[in-house]
Every structure is written in structure tokens, then in C-alpha cells.
A and B are shown apart, each in its own frame.
Chain A
Amino acid sequence: GQQLNQSPQSMFIQEGEDVSMNCTSSSIFNTWLWYKQDPGEGPVLLIALYKAGELTSNGRLTAQFGITRKDSFLNISASIPSDVGIYFCAGSTEYNNNDMRFGAGTRLTVKP
């Protein structure tokens, strides 16, 4: 099946620092999505990307859909304590738009 490799697995940063995480895939993706999961909750959508090269921002978050359609990154600028959580990349491939796959997640800890 389609494999999503997300890195890093975890990050420990100081409040105010910028963060970058990325996902790569063995297959071409039609959409790339970034979700955040707070403890005890389901993931919530942060940013959706629909075409290669697309760069989209949502407040302090910026994400890009890679030109090859096999990768995406998420940047968080000027981190704050409430950024703590698990960030997941997700996407669906050109073979089956109904089959959304998730990366293993990046666990972010922000020290005040």
C-alpha cells in the first residue's frame, strides 16, 4: 500500500522557535493535508493542499505541496505553548481518492 514517511518523529523546542516537519510518499498524491491532534481528541484539519507547488498559509502555519507530488512540508513560525500536540500529514493518491492515508505523526513539545 501507499507509504507515508513523516519526520521527525518528535521535536522539543523553545517557545518562539520555528518548526519544520515533512512527509514523503512512495506514490504520487493528489492531495496533501496536515492535521493536528490534541491529547484525547481526534485530529483536526490545519491546511489542505490540492496541486503541485501550492504554498498555503494559515496564520503561523505554512505548508507546501511538493512539485514531484510525493512530498509536503509544514512550517510553524514563532511557536507558542498551545502548538503542543501531534501533527499528521495525510493524503490520497491518484489511484483511489477515497483512500486517505496518514503519516505516523510528529510529536511537538514546546517549552515555555
Chain B
Amino acid sequence: NAGVTQTPKFRILKIGQSMTLQCAQDMNHNYMYWYRQDPGMGLKLIYYSVGAGITDKGEVPNGYNVSRSTTEDFPLRLELAAPSQTSVYFCATIKGAEAFFGQGTRLTVV
């Protein structure tokens, strides 16, 4: 049982490039979330989804897009990478009050 799987684990992007961070879960949870964690900071909510076909903005959505075509997958898209998007990105599912996190994707934009 893999839980929440994020790929890639590390990535370096040049300014203006685009990429998709993948997140997959095998727990059949409806709620999925994307957070970013800046150095020495807490987690900030980017986007979340309460089920397939439904997505909503979180606290810091600018510069990102998401889609939720299936229960299992919740990819996060960066269209024009900027240095301010250098961060560690965590995907999570939530059931009840408990969040289950992936291991994170460390993204550096240079």
C-alpha cells in the first residue's frame, strides 16, 4: 500500500520553463491538497480538491494550476516557473481530520 506518491523527488527548472508535479494516492480518499513549504516556514495551501472534477484555490494559488480527472491523481502544473516558486511541494490526502503526506518534491528555479 503506497499511500501518497509524489514524483519527481527533485527538479531544477530554468525561469520560464513549465512542469507538472505528479501526485497519486491509492487510499481512495476524496480530499487531496497541494502545499508548499518554504525554508523555515510552515505549509501554505496552494490548491485543494474535494473530489474528481472539483478543485478550489487555497492561500497561494497564483502561478499554479491543478486538475482532478480521477480520484487517484492530482497533478500540479507550473506554467512559467519563477524563482519565487523555489520550494518543497507536498501533496496530501485527508480523511476525517488526518492528513497523509507524500515525501515531497524539492523544486529549484534558477
Interface stretch of the complex, out of A12-20, A33-41, A71-79: A33-41
A44 and B101 contact, CB distance less than 8 A: yes
Q: B-contacting residues of A (Cβ < 8 Å)?
A: 1, 4, 6, 31, 33, 35, 40-45, 48, 50, 88, 90, 92, 98-105
CA distance A99 to B45 in the complex (A): 8
> What 1/0 flags go to B68-109 for Cβ under 8 Å of A?
000000000000000000000010101011110111100000
Q: Can you name 18 extra interface pairs (CB under 8 A) apart from A43-B101, A100-B99?
A: A4-B42, A33-B99, A42-B90, A42-B103, A43-B43, A48-B98, A88-B43, A92-B97, A98-B31, A98-B48, A99-B45, A100-B33, A100-B45, A100-B94, A102-B42, A102-B43, A104-B42, A105-B41
Interface of B is mostly: strand
CA distance A111 to B42 in the complex (A): 24
Q: A-contacting residues of B (Cβ < 8 Å)?
A: 4, 31, 33, 35, 40-45, 48, 50, 56, 58-59, 90, 92, 94, 96-99, 101-104
A-B pairs with CB below 8 Å: how many? 60
Query: Which residues on B sit within 8 Å (CB–CB) of A88?
Result: 42-43
